[in-house]
Structure 1
Amino acid sequence: MKAALTHLGARGEANMVDVGDKAETTRTAIAEGFVSMLPETLETILAGNAKKGDVLGTARIAGIMAAKKAHELIPLCHPLLLTKVSVDIEPDAALPGLRVTALARVTGKTGVEMEALTAASVACLTIYDMAKAVDRAMVISGIRLVEKTGGKSGDYKANESGVDA
């Protein structure tokens, strides 16, 4: 049985979910995304030679800032007092490219999945923006929730394959 959509009323009108009666718990979400690029582009970024500056440092800051603004970007998303946001960016020679992992945490009444997903997405977009002069064929892919803990719905961990049954 599928769960009902919580943001739609009986007539299909959009509503912000009332979380007032929910218990405050510590909630964590981890999201990821990938930016595939030419090997030379990856080398340029890792060497710190991009014309726009420190690609990785700027992307980390952009992702953190984006998580804090998720409620301004996504309709019906609750504003949260985040207790932690981190963005890690690692080279992946197999792509070749960069893997972005974002973590968001809150002690509150609603989850932080959208904040983690927003952080990962904007970090990937920032990488693209800062390196597009070198490689316009970069591809952003694989934006997904990897894991979440806390809350009434319990914990979730994505399959390694990236496809849930």
Structure 2
Amino acid sequence: MSDNQLSHINQRGEASMVDVTEKAVTQREARAEGYVTMKKDTLTMISEGKHAKGDVFAVARIAGIQGAKQTASLIPLCHPLMLSKVQVEFEPQPEQSRVRITSLCKLAGQTGVEMEALTAVSVAALTLFDMCKAVDPGMSIEGVRVTEKLGGKTGHWQGTQP
């Protein structure tokens, strides 16, 4: 298969899970980011831990970790992976009235962890939205992307700022 072909489509054009049987086990990691933009008052409330529902970042962090672990159940052709590390972090950015969410996923395996890193950020962002929607229904989730990956055939890849 050439590098410009879709990896999850077989020769007949049907959806197909990639066969990684012959791929070497290597250390792999991926990082992703995304943003939740909100009203300044909402950002202040959750940054200061004053939300009536409790610590929004703690709940969203656990949700992001759980999301990464469930990626194969959510994305049909993803391989179930034995993740060795999932990290989810939040960075309030008051000047842009948003929260930057970052994730790191690692493992020793035969396939990459980009989808798990993206899922961690996405589920954390959705949880943050869910917990705050009653006070700020106009929030938006933006810019979810892979920022870096290491390991595998392609080695080290780092994204550029959009």
**Stretches of 4+ aligned residues off by more than 2 angstroms:** none
Q: Distance in 2 between matches of 1:141 and 1:35?
A: 6
Q: Distance in 1 between matches of 2:105 and 2:153?
A: 18
Equivalent position of 1:159 in the other structure? 160
Equivalent position of 2:66 in the other structure? 65
TM-score using structure 2 length:
0.96
Q: Does the residue aligned with 1:72 lie in a helix, a strand or coil?
A: helix
Q: Which letter does structure 1 place at the counterpart of 2:68?
A: A
Q: Any gaps of 5 or more consecutive residues in structure 1?
A: none
Equivalent position of 1:14 in the other structure? 15
Counterparts of 1:21-40 in structure 2 under 5 Å? 21-40=22-41
Equivalent position of 1:114 in the other structure? 115
Q: Which letter does structure 2 place at the counterpart of 1:129?
A: D
Equivalent position of 1:91 in the other structure? 92
Tell me, yes or no, if the aligned pair for 1:37 and 1:95 is still in contact at 8 Å: no
* Distance apart, 1:2 and its partner CA: 5.7
* Distance apart, 1:54 and its partner CA: 1.0
Equivalent position of 2:51 in the other structure? 50
Identity of aligned residues (%): 53
What CA RMSD, in Å, does the superposition of the two structures yield over aligned residues? 1.1
Q: Which letter does structure 1 place at the counterpart of 2:73?
A: E
| 2:159 paired with 1:123 | no
Q: Any gaps of 5 or more consecutive residues in structure 2?
A: none
Count of residues in Structure 1 that have an aligned counterpart in Structure 2 = 161
TM-score using structure 1 length:
0.95
